[in-house]
Chains A and B, each alone.
Chain A
Amino acid sequence: MKAYKTIIKTELKLSLRGMDMLIFAVIMPLAVLIILGIIYGNKPAFDGSDYTFIQQSFGALASISICAGGVMGLPLVVSDYRSKQILKRFKVTPIGPFTILIAEVTIYFLYSLISLLTLFAVARVFFGFEMQGSLLQFILGWILVMVSMFSIGMMVGGIAKNTKVAGIIASILYFPMLIFSGATLPYEVMPITMQKFVDILPLTQGIKILKSATLDLPMNNVVLPIIVMVAIAIICSFVAIRFFRWE
């Protein structure tokens, strides 16, 4: 426990020193929220809807930092620590390299949590946001999306040959999901054909779960997305554990 705490403290400092996660996982979601808030204000999501545009987008915004940490942060840090042989150095200590991986997952969890809390506070204070659905359902969905995204990241970081390959795969996953899954550019403003196309992105499905929980929409609409998220989490975790390269 002493080791875990010290590693978390140090890795968090290192991460903040690097600034990139602070920007991509905390500041960027807030910036998108504020932009959407300025454009749409408290307007209803569409004519006759009983929820606002911000309410409709909240789940998507909360997924930005999960996406940044899961498919960009995690793969890069895991492959970097392998190529720098930091994982190997931990192998010749009583703690073992698994602890530092758990510490990294914890750090990206913390970024996602901070992002969720700041988004909630700003949306509530400035744009009158209220959670229409059950908070518990939202949190469960949020955790499911996180487990699923983080398992993708662990898989990519765990099996990518080197840092460069991990970086390329991370970019291929991150940027399309950031732009087209509805996380930043709202799904609802996309043409129907485009929506069908972006439905193949895992995060699009994840966002549907969060949106449904925020707006208290019927749960049977998100059965498929839940199955997709669970399947991704199981498959990617299995591949990550089975094929993880320690060096």
Chain B
Amino acid sequence: METIKIISSYALPAIILIILCIGLYKEVKVYDIFVESAKEGITTVIKIMPSLVGLMVAIGVFRASGALDLLIFALRPVTDFLGIPKEAVPLAMMRPISGSASLALISDIMKVHGPDSFVGRVVSTMMGSTETTFYTLALYFGAAGIKKIRYALAAAMIADFSSILASVWICTLVFGRS
């Protein structure tokens, strides 16, 4: 499992180096293009700001009132059985529906438990390895005019579910459960 830690440490620097070297080799004005493209990052963040405010307020209310604890408590038997940390359950429920709500949720979870806690690492891994399945399905099939989706949703949900279990499993192996 040391290998996965090493991969995590070297992945970003290696990718940055490869991108820059290939860029220079292909005679791309690397710095100019970087600055030009980085603007898009600002637009992306500005665009999600209003939804992040709305959703984080809703999550904040839900947690501060004790409603979140009730929900987690109710789902306790299922999560204990599957070995999923109970704090990660709301994310597992929200992830297929909304990307910005999931983003708000993981921010909230990591704010409370810390990004370097076991729960923090599990929700980070879950967030990075799944997609907004319902939204994507509705968008893509809707655009093509598909009404009978047959087994598509079932297969996508199986994949999502396996990625939740895989996240818990790999984080336990790599970081240890603490």
| A-B complex is real | no
- Residues of A participating in the B interface, judged by any CB pair closer than 8 Å: none
- Residues of B participating in the A interface, judged by any CB pair closer than 8 Å: none
